[in-house]
Chains A and B, each alone.
Chain A
Amino acid sequence: MLKCTVNGKEIEVAEGTMVIEAFKQAGEDIAHYCWHPGLSVAGVCRLCMIEVEGAPRLMIACNTQVTEGMVVSNNSAKVQEAVKWGLDFHLINHPLDCPICDQAGECGLQDQYMKFGQYDPEMAERKVKKRKVVDLGRKIVLDTERCILCSRCVRFTDEVTKTSELGIFNRGDRSEIGTHEDKPLDNDYAVNVVDICPVGALTSKDFRFKQRVWYLDNDSTVCNGCSTGCNVNVYYNEKGYFRVKPEHNKDINDYWMCDKGRNIFKHVNKENRLLKAIKKTEAGTQMMAPGAAAKDVASLIKNYSSDQVAVVFTGQYTNEEYEDAMMYIDKLGTKKVYHWVNNSESFDDFDGILLRGDKNPNTAGLIKALEAKSLNSTWEQLEAELNSGAIKLVILAGPELQEYFPDIQEKIQLFSKAENLVVLSSNPNPAYRDVDYLIPMKTFVEKKGSFTNFAGTVQKIQKMRLVVSQALSLGEAMQLMAGDELQIGASL
């Protein structure tokens, strides 16, 4: 450990630490555009200027290692002056785009200008105009004028995805970022460059112009797109959920997430949700409150003996929900509990960065819950019993992310061989048309709980804004179907 003094604060840092990391550790403010903790050091923005005691000139904090007894500061007039001029150089060709720029509100350049700038520009030259609204494939729009050439995105494609699509072209004030011949930037991690862009040069097509960022709240949770369990921030307001960004977790996803995971908020919004329970009757369909429908199922279950009832789980619910559900399955008395494994042939796939073939957030949790009750029925048994008519009622805890269950139609047809099929699902699906009871469920942003990822790490998810307030959690649904009443305040 090395001792150093940052802006008068004495701290101890590990050997090999850069001064900028020491600043972060001391909780001191330091501007930085090109430095990103997940990438290599470039040292091109020249804004993290520091004064080191004993050194004649200013240095950059991102490329200076801490030495024993080092005394550094960034609050002297000399540093402030250097940072001010550094900023002025960045702004020479930066357009006045803030009103239409999606980054406004979370832009490093804006923050820095409010701190050091607020002066009239001192450049008499005309701004160099560059290309705007360059289409880089399905996901990203590039604005070369706004770019300050920090090269974070270039280093990202070189170092993290190792695809090297992006580069800096031309020289001097005509340099601009881009892909060769404007080829699309379509790798599986491309949207990360939007997150790391300190200005609005790279914007996400999906989020573009949907909301201004200052209207959004955010909470951290765990991505439910696959079994990696990346830590993410979900951004939402009263109009719905709008975007997902990765959150740092050095053991699981570092600073990144995949582009598939960016879509996990879409099924949550009200226009895609199942709002009421649907019961199929002779006269057609009947809309019901979810709780009432579950109670209806409870009275239906009483007509059958316990071994005529089967429960099918998917790995998309929380550990707590499985625990509750198992408790009430005990009460129902059935031992016929099955695990619906989607895409079993690609189950163990891994792309080397984050994406895994198991598209369920909590397969490990489900297997553990089944093992705890020593329930080990196989899928073949289920198929055989459905064909022979031994199972009269199937309760399916349906998938939340239906796009990862391509065989949903066939499976529903299989389950329909039973006299009654109860599907618990957060979203409607054309395959659910002939289901006897369809009961709306809460999604992963509407409940508390935990997911166990592929490696057995248990991570908590948070309850954010309710979209369908009547929807049930799996535990609540099973409780009602087992004939119990819900307790006030006991819900997940």
Chain B
Amino acid sequence: MSIVKRPDIKSSWYVTSIVKGMALTFRNMIYNIFHKDEMPTVNYPEEKYEYGPRFKGSHILTVKKDGSIRCTACMLCATNCPADCISITAAEHDDPEVEKFPISYEIDTLRCVYCGFCEEACPVDAVRMGPEWQQPGLNGSSFVHDIQHLTRRPNLKGGYLSILDEEERHNSGI
């Protein structure tokens, strides 16, 4: 059985709490005015917070040395994705050395939970989670990123180079 507590005269006497709270606020405000460099908050968007290098932000599709996309469309990221936000369509490449490549690769970042499982599953270092964390958009469709955005958006400055190089691997005899 639940007991309903009715507000009594004591609990409705809230003015003292307000005064206490306001005192704390003003004390901190005056302190921060005189000690600006100790302030824990930043003036976003003029100032931006620097996250650590391990931060998992917006997805990046890496490129090979010739600028073509590294991804081989093996679908392991899409299989591993717990949010089911990656959709890939594979196609046959004209170059027999490449053989298979994604003709479309879309990530629905509104579904994405930024867990980084895609990055972990990728066998060829094709998908990474980069440092960017600001993603403005006008409507839902502007959060579904296509291959063009993921590889060559302006922030990537020409694309990220994959650490895995097929030619080097080939030359070393693997």
- Is B58 interfacial (CB-CB < 8 Å)? no
Could you tell me the distance between the alpha carbons of A96 and B174 in the complex, rounded to whole angstroms? 8
Nearest-CB residue, chain B, relative to A126: B173
Task: Assess the A99–B99 pair: CB atoms within 8 A.
Answer: no
CB distance from A398 to the nearest CB of B (A): 33
> What are the residues of chain A within 8 A of B40 when measuring CB–CB?
none
A132-B96, A212-B79 given; A99·B74 CB < 8 A:
yes
> What are the residues of chain B within 8 A of A99 when measuring CB–CB?
72, 74, 76, 123-124
- Is B86 interfacial (CB-CB < 8 Å)? no
- Is B91 interfacial (CB-CB < 8 Å)? yes
Task: Assess the A208–B92 pair: CB atoms within 8 A.
Answer: yes
Could you tell me the distance between the alpha carbons of A330 and B97 in the complex, rounded to whole angstroms? 65
Within 8 A of A (CB), among B120-140: 123-124
Interface residues on B, range: 10 to 19
Task: Assess the A127–B173 pair: CB atoms within 8 A.
Answer: yes
- Is B161 interfacial (CB-CB < 8 Å)? no
Within 8 A of B (CB), among A87-134: 96, 98-100, 104, 125-127, 129, 132-133
A98-B123, A99-B124, A126-B173 given; A209·B72 CB < 8 A:
no
Could you tell me the distance between the alpha carbons of A54 and B155 in the complex, rounded to whole angstroms? 71
CB distance from B103 to the nearest CB of A (A): 10
> What are the residues of chain A within 8 A of B91 when measuring CB–CB?
209
CB distance from B138 to the nearest CB of A (A): 30
A99-B74, A100-B99 given; A209·B90 CB < 8 A:
yes
CB distance from A141 to the nearest CB of B (A): 9
Chain A, residues 195-230, CB within 8 Å of chain B (1/0): the string is 000000000000011101011000000000000000
**Among B76, B79, B97, B99, which residue has the most Cβ atoms of chain A within 10 A?**
B99
> What are the residues of chain B within 8 A of A104 when measuring CB–CB?
74
> What are the residues of chain B within 8 A of A215 when measuring CB–CB?
75, 79
Contact of A125 among B76, B90, B173 (CB under 8 A): B173
Task: Assess the A132–B99 pair: CB atoms within 8 A.
Answer: yes
- Is B73 interfacial (CB-CB < 8 Å)? yes
**Among A104, A210, A212, A215, which residue has the most Cβ atoms of chain B within 10 A?**
A212
Could you tell me the distance between the alpha carbons of A399 and B172 in the complex, rounded to whole angstroms? 58
Could you tell me the distance between the alpha carbons of A455 and B173 in the complex, rounded to whole angstroms? 57
A contacts with B, residue count (CB < 8 A)? 17
Chain B, residues 95-115, CB within 8 Å of chain A (1/0): the string is 011011000000000000000
> What are the residues of chain A within 8 A of B123 when measuring CB–CB?
98-99
> What are the residues of chain A within 8 A of B72 when measuring CB–CB?
99-100
Task: Assess the B174–A127 pair: CB atoms within 8 A.
Answer: yes
A125-B173, A127-B174, A214-B79 given; A133·B74 CB < 8 A:
no
Could you tell me the distance between the alpha carbons of A98 and B73 in the complex, rounded to whole angstroms? 11
CB distance from B86 to the nearest CB of A (A): 13
> What are the residues of chain A within 8 A of B170 when measuring CB–CB?
129
CB distance from A486 to the nearest CB of B (A): 36
**Among B79, B97, B173, which residue has the most Cβ atoms of chain A within 10 A?**
B173
> What are the residues of chain A within 8 A of B173 when measuring CB–CB?
125-127
Task: Assess the A133–B96 pair: CB atoms within 8 A.
Answer: yes
Chain B, residues 133-174, CB within 8 Å of chain A (1/0): the string is 000000000000000000000000000000000000010111
> What are the residues of chain A within 8 A of B97 when measuring CB–CB?
132
> What are the residues of chain A within 8 A of B73 when measuring CB–CB?
100, 209
> What are the residues of chain A within 8 A of B90 when measuring CB–CB?
209-210
Could you tell me the distance between the alpha carbons of A209 and B75 in the complex, rounded to whole angstroms? 10
> What are the residues of chain B within 8 A of A100 when measuring CB–CB?
72-74, 99-100
Within 8 A of A (CB), among B67-86: 72-76, 79
CB distance from A98 to the nearest CB of B (A): 7
Could you tell me the distance between the alpha carbons of A406 and B79 in the complex, rounded to whole angstroms? 43
CB distance from A144 to the nearest CB of B (A): 12
Could you tell me the distance between the alpha carbons of A441 and B119 in the complex, rounded to whole angstroms? 45
CB distance from B40 to the nearest CB of A (A): 46
Instruction: Show 17 A/B contacts (Cβ-Cβ < 8 Å), sorted by A.
Output: A98-B123, A99-B74, A99-B124, A100-B99, A100-B100, A126-B173, A127-B174, A129-B170, A132-B99, A133-B99, A209-B90, A209-B91, A209-B100, A210-B90, A212-B79, A214-B79, A215-B79
9 other A-B residue contacts (CB within 8 Å) besides A132-B96, A133-B96? A98-B123, A99-B74, A99-B124, A125-B173, A133-B99, A209-B73, A209-B90, A209-B92, A212-B74
Contact surface of A with B, Cβ cutoff 8 Å: 96, 98-100, 104, 125-127, 129, 132-133, 208-210, 212, 214-215
Contact surface of B with A, Cβ cutoff 8 Å: 72-76, 79, 90-92, 96-97, 99-100, 123-124, 170, 172-174
